[in-house]
Structure 1
Amino acid sequence: MRDRFGLRVCVAVVSVGALLSSTAVPSVAAGEVPIGAADRDWPGHSDDATLRGKIIKMLRHMTLQEKVGQLFVVEVYGQDANSVSPAMAARNRALYGVDTPAQVIDKYKPGGVIYFDSRRGPDNVRNPRQIGTLSNGLQAAAVSQRQPIPLLISTDQEGGAVVFRLVAPATAMPGNMALGAARSTADAHRSAEVIGTELAAVGINQNYAPVADVNVNPANPVIGVRSVGEDPALVSGIVAAQVDGYHDGGVATVAKHFPGHGDTAVDSHFGLPEVTHTREQIEAIDLPPFRAAIDEGVDTIMTAHVVLRSVDPSGAPATMSEPILTGLLREELDYDGLIVTDALDMGGATSTYPPNVAPVEAFKAGADQLVLAPQMDVAYNAVLDAIRSGEISMRRLDESVYRILRLKMKRGLFDDPFVDVDLAEKVVGAPDHLADAQVITDHTTTLVKNDAGVLPLSDDPRNVLVTGWGVTTTSTLGNAIGQRGQTVTVRETGTTPSQATINQVVAEAANSDLVVVSTMNAASVSVTTGLPTASAAAQQALVKALLATGKPVVVSGMRNPYDISYLTEAPTYLATYGYTAAQLESLTRVLFGEVNPVGKLPVTIPRADGSGALYPFGHGLSYHG
């Protein structure tokens, strides 16, 4: 290991290998480690033959506290393991009573750390060198403990523009529903491989992806374009390809959110949704992608904070449901990989379970790792007390720790958990990655409607007004159109344009030859009233006012493709399923006929009045072929 990590790390790295070969048992407090258990009495399976002995030896060496620590996945504040700003230190101190990320590892000896960007607060991810240095510092702290056990370092890098943590220069892949529109498992595999390769380069060894939810509810406020689509077979094929691709890229995979979050109208970050599917519907709709992921060797499955009474009549969320996690996932689906909770600080968990109850109930239900438990001291001690009291057996604890250690060994973390930060700068955003991202994205843009024959545009110069949602979206799209020899005016309106803003944009349209307007969930409806939200209604009013000018108007739905349900007057409509730079470039290429639109709707577009399908699954227009 490089000198910048210091002697402490060099010694720790040696001790990882020494642990696996040593026969000496360290001195621990009486009763902390099971004594005299025969190998056959420990958890694990015969198919773990190459690792089983090593894992059992480690379990014998671990104290109760060390085992409980492995169950937790924590967030840490700051960009460096050992030196953080006063503001970041204050956040760590508020959560954990210590200042730095390395001190968090020292205190709890957690099994995992999850990275977030500045939007949530931890601000862990700035650039490849910084991320890799943070990862190395955290791993150094982990393998410097009495029991040197490397960390699972994870993040949510799903692809697309909705749930992601690494930004430029990291490669932005098009996202799940866009991949569903492309219908290409090869593209899905390559997309995941690129993401995995870049994550691995900066020391992130586990990605909380792919999303395996089947989005059959157009009003779903939390999944939407994060899902491949509404067809279980399509979702299953893409998910399996992604699992394989992430593995080829060098990271562990996490299929989420079990048993399925695709038919909800409540966001589990803020409340507790209920899925009303029957057992037959679960088998036909929700489970196939998870079965496909399991068949492909998915490492981990993440729980959903959703109620599913057809499996568990008690009404407990899946995360805390033994019938769902142990009965359905472990026993019926025969899954022996890691089960990780969705974040325990989400409303779907905290609204029902206090901080000292949620982690215990989730663990008793069958979860192996507990993510972002609120009030870490309370959660840690609650699990510890439950084991000491016999509420949770030592064998049950060992089963989970066994799975955690097994995954870390399978991913090679005990061999070398560190990364080369110089290499990371070359890998992240590599030219071939960016080129592949654009090619893949060009397969996804869907031309839903072209009644007036406006598209494809000729190369003739014209005045183009680019308007609608998104400061970056409209400016990036305007620049791309301007590069085609067009004179472009950009007027961003926000998600809820006022009447004054609409009037201003309409006046601009009078001086334009063409209007390109972006919408952002303009089909959103209120759960309570069933009517369009204020934001959706304002965007609909903007588009209709522009159509009334008589100018050619091209509408592009920039997130969920359902916006056309409320904009049926628009003669030209495209779906991009996201707003990455590559997606905006692809949209522009389609507008000018440089790329033939080949994307097909991976969901049905319903009529706004609920009378049936406006556009069916699989619909999509092309210019030729």
Structure 2
Amino acid sequence: MASATIAGLKDYNVIGCAKHFPGHGDTATDSHYGLPIVNKSKAELLNNELKPYKIAINQGIEMIMTAHILYPQLDNTTVVSEKTGNEEKKPATMSKAIITDLLKGEMGFNGVVTTDAMNMKAIADTFGESQAVKLAIEAGADLICMPTVLYNQEDVKKLDTIIDYVEDAVNNGEISESRLDDGCRRILTVKENRGILDWKESNFSLNKALSTVGSATNRATEREIAAAAVTVVKNENNTLPLVVKEKQKILMLCPYDNERAQMIMGYNRAKEAGLIPDSAEVKVVRYNGLNMDAVKENIDWADTVFVNSEISAASRFSSNHWLYSNVEDIVDYTHEKGKKSIVMSVDKPYDVQMYANADAILAVYGCKGSSVDVTEAIVGGVTSSKAAYGPNIIAGIEVALGTFGAQGTLPVNIPVYDKIAKLYTDTIKYKRGYGITYQSLLNKDTLNDLISKAESLDSKKYTEESWNKLVSVLAVAKEVANTNGVSQKKIDEAIASLQSAMDALVEKPVETKPEEPKKDDTKKEDTKKENTKKENTKKEDTKKDNVKTGDSTAILPLVTLMGLACVAFIFLKKKRA
């Protein structure tokens, strides 16, 4: 997943940053509030935590962020803190052994090393700002993130103090010039590779940024990505996609007000797509702060219940923590009443193994809400609002209601959590790559079949005007077919328009040319004419021969007659004598 992300960032000329090196997963303390310790050997780290970093380095990642975490088996050295006056162990951010020797040396990272925010308590509680920056640069950090906090113009002076402190460290030899040169070279190389050194203000204007970020195109892409990620892990009796019927009542429950707009927005999109009848009703309620009796009253009203589960840490899998216990109570009561419950995991997906009585469970991987008032979302204003809002909860509702199909798979294994022992076991409930899939309720089969039929037609057979009209309508139809979440009404309109354009095609008139006789027929005709000519010539010759030669068959009667005439003449002459 990280490799694909890195490749995608590169395609769009964005500098990727892998964090937090050497690893921030196996900890019990949040470095924002304390200093975590990972007491693992180098061999263990190379076999686990460091593996994704090696892959990222091989993929050409250009920046890596350090972790404010102690790794005593990698570096157990100490330094006297000017803030506490005590010998303090150095976290990875301040460790030359970890940043320079391991990351830049052994692992061959040639990009930029940046620190995590230096105002976090893991650093700030132990070291002063200036010393912390100096120790990080000394260790091999090339960029310092938030060396101080700036609230006003006066605070800029604090930066001057830090810079002067670092300059003194260079002058007295604590930081070598070669260390600064290495950092500058790395930073400039990344800038050159990304075209930042050729920066032109005209190419990066505020107006251009405002017209791009949060634009309709951006939002459409965001919507597609978020919906494709939604992962269904449980779907009893094909609860999903939910086919909403006439007068059906849907209750949506969430822990915080800023998630209400997201849930109703997903519902409204399904309604716009033609999947929600006008007679259906929806109610969105925040369950945090309500007693269970009030929540039960809402469940009694509903036919189907959606509820967001927002569990960010295993420590919350407890009947004493409202974020878990409320959802479990909601699911169990809904089941008891014989109604359908659909749980959306909106934070880390490890809670998808919980809630045994839920009819369907899906993970959406994001709980970012919205500052937009829910009433604005009801009328659809949030879709065009410039206010920031998270796409994940919206996508979860859209997938559950069938505006999008389900196609996501789990990016991690989900190990079984033992609530009594309060730890994850080695048993895997759902494996990485698992996910239940189904098609969108929006039917595009007819449209796709019609598009295929239109594409198979021969343009040479039709008039230019009618063909050009078909091409134009076909382009629109293909856009509708390739766009997820488009309404059934638009699909049907595209079908009607394309069919109409196909029916309106005008065939070109057939050009009639004198039929040329075939060679065989010509030969036969010539032979016939020749034979006729010969026959006529023969008859003519026969006639001529009859006159010239006196054929015995034809002249014999004439000779006989002449002979008789002569005999008669002689006989009469003798009689007279």
Q: TM-score, normalised by structure 2?
A: 0.61
1:362 alignment partner AA: A
| Residues 1:435 and 2:223 aligned together | no
Q: Distance in 1 between matches of 2:260 and 2:217?
A: 27
| Residues 1:451 and 2:242 aligned together | no
| Residues 1:597 and 2:406 aligned together | yes
| Residues 1:515 and 2:305 aligned together | yes
| Residues 1:292 and 2:80 aligned together | no
1:569 alignment partner AA: N
- For 1:550, the equivalent position in structure 2 comes to 338
Q: Judging changes above 3 Å, is the alpha-carbon distance between structure 1 residues 354 and 268 closer, same or farther for their aligned structure 2 residues?
A: same
Q: Contact conserved, 1:307 with 1:316, CA < 8 A, in 2?
A: yes
Displacement after TM superposition at 1:324 (Å)? 0.6
Q: Which of residues 357, 376, 384 is equivalent to 2:159?
A: 376
| Residues 1:563 and 2:351 aligned together | yes
Displacement after TM superposition at 1:589 (Å)? 3.1
- For 1:386, the equivalent position in structure 2 comes to 169
Q: Judging changes above 3 Å, is the alpha-carbon distance between structure 1 residues 540 and 353 closer, same or farther for their aligned structure 2 residues?
A: farther
Give the 3-state SS of the residue equivalent to 1:441 in structure 2: helix
Please state which structure has a larger fraction of its residues in helix. Answer: 2
Structure with greater contact order relative to length (CA < 8 Å, sep ≥ 6): 1
Displacement after TM superposition at 1:574 (Å)? 0.9
Q: Which of residues 255, 280, 291 is equivalent to 1:469?
A: 255
Q: Distance in 2 between matches of 1:326 and 1:424?
A: 37
| Residues 1:281 and 2:49 aligned together | no
- For 1:316, the equivalent position in structure 2 comes to 90
Q: Contact conserved, 1:525 with 1:536, CA < 8 A, in 2?
A: no
Q: Judging changes above 3 Å, is the alpha-carbon distance between structure 1 residues 433 and 422 closer, same or farther for their aligned structure 2 residues?
A: same
User: Over residues 458-496 of structure 1, what are the superposed CA-to-partner deviations in whole Å (9 max), with x where a residue is unaligned?
Assistant: 2413100111223232333234325223310111123xx
Q: How does 1:100-119 map to 2 (within 5 A)?
A: none
Q: Judging changes above 3 Å, is the alpha-carbon distance between structure 1 residues 531 and 467 closer, same or farther for their aligned structure 2 residues?
A: closer
Give the 3-state SS of the residue equivalent to 1:408 in structure 2: helix
Q: Judging changes above 3 Å, is the alpha-carbon distance between structure 1 residues 602 and 252 closer, same or farther for their aligned structure 2 residues?
A: closer
- For 2:284, the equivalent position in structure 1 comes to 490
Q: Judging changes above 3 Å, is the alpha-carbon distance between structure 1 residues 380 and 549 closer, same or farther for their aligned structure 2 residues?
A: farther
Q: Judging changes above 3 Å, is the alpha-carbon distance between structure 1 residues 470 and 531 closer, same or farther for their aligned structure 2 residues?
A: closer
| Residues 1:525 and 2:315 aligned together | yes
Q: Distance in 1 between matches of 2:318 and 2:303?
A: 37
Consecutive unaligned residues of structure 2, counting only runs of 5 or more, are 78-88, 149-157, 368-388, 419-423, 441-577
Q: Contact conserved, 1:522 with 1:537, CA < 8 A, in 2?
A: no
Give the 3-state SS of the residue equivalent to 2:210 in structure 1: helix
Q: Which has the larger radius of gyration?
A: 2
Q: Which of residues 27, 31, 38 is equivalent to 1:264?
A: 27
Displacement after TM superposition at 1:328 (Å)? 0.7
| Residues 1:250 and 2:13 aligned together | yes
Consecutive unaligned residues of structure 1, counting only runs of 5 or more, are 1-237
| Residues 1:303 and 2:66 aligned together | yes
Could you tell which deviates more after superposition, 330-339 or 454-463?
454-463
Q: How does 1:36-185 map to 2 (within 5 A)?
A: none
Displacement after TM superposition at 1:296 (Å)? 2.8
Q: Contact conserved, 1:525 with 1:531, CA < 8 A, in 2?
A: no
Displacement after TM superposition at 1:284 (Å)? 2.5
Q: Distance in 2 between matches of 1:263 and 1:306?
A: 11
Displacement after TM superposition at 1:530 (Å)? 8.2
| Residues 1:460 and 2:242 aligned together | no
Q: Which of residues 118, 133, 137 is equivalent to 1:359?
A: 133
Q: Distance in 2 between matches of 1:534 and 1:588?
A: 23
Give the 3-state SS of the residue equivalent to 1:242 in structure 2: helix
Displacement after TM superposition at 1:303 (Å)? 0.7
Displacement after TM superposition at 1:576 (Å)? 0.6
Q: Which of residues 108, 132, 148 is equivalent to 1:334?
A: 108
Q: Judging changes above 3 Å, is the alpha-carbon distance between structure 1 residues 298 and 362 closer, same or farther for their aligned structure 2 residues?
A: same
User: Over residues 528-559 of structure 1, what are the superposed CA-to-partner deviations in whole Å (9 max), with x where a residue is unaligned?
Assistant: x9886454344444444444433211111111
Q: Contact conserved, 1:465 with 1:489, CA < 8 A, in 2?
A: yes
User: Over residues 423-475 of structure 1, what are the superposed CA-to-partner deviations in whole Å (9 max), with x where a residue is unaligned?
Assistant: 33332234333322222222211111122432222241310011122323233
2:303 alignment partner AA: D
| Residues 1:411 and 2:199 aligned together | no
Q: Distance in 1 between matches of 2:352 and 2:7?
A: 35
Give the 3-state SS of the residue equivalent to 1:286 in structure 2: coil
- For 1:398, the equivalent position in structure 2 comes to 181
Give the 3-state SS of the residue equivalent to 2:71 in structure 1: coil
Q: How many residues align?
A: 382
Q: Contact conserved, 1:506 with 1:549, CA < 8 A, in 2?
A: no
Q: TM-score, normalised by structure 1?
A: 0.57
Could you tell which deviates more after superposition, 458-467 or 239-248?
239-248
1:507 alignment partner AA: E
2:252 alignment partner AA: V
Q: Judging changes above 3 Å, is the alpha-carbon distance between structure 1 residues 591 and 404 closer, same or farther for their aligned structure 2 residues?
A: closer
Structure 1 segments, 4+ long, off by >4 Å, are 529-532
Could you tell which deviates more after superposition, 614-623 or 265-274?
614-623
Q: Which of residues 342, 358, 364 is equivalent to 1:576?
A: 364
Give the 3-state SS of the residue equivalent to 2:339 in structure 1: coil
Q: Contact conserved, 2:99 with 2:140, CA < 8 A, in 1?
A: yes
2:74 alignment partner AA: V
User: What is the aligned-residue RMSD (CA, Å)?
Assistant: 2.6
Displacement after TM superposition at 1:581 (Å)? 5.0
Displacement after TM superposition at 1:376 (Å)? 3.0
Q: Distance in 1 between matches of 2:337 and 2:39?
A: 45
Q: Distance in 2 between matches of 1:530 and 1:584?
A: 24
1:406 alignment partner AA: T
Q: Contact conserved, 2:318 with 2:324, CA < 8 A, in 1?
A: no
User: Over residues 278-336 of structure 1, what are the superposed CA-to-partner deviations in whole Å (9 max), with x where a residue is unaligned?
Assistant: 32332232223222322232222111111223322345211011111011101111112
Give the 3-state SS of the residue equivalent to 1:574 in structure 2: strand
Could you tell which deviates more after superposition, 590-599 or 259-268?
590-599
Q: Contact conserved, 2:352 with 2:363, CA < 8 A, in 1?
A: no
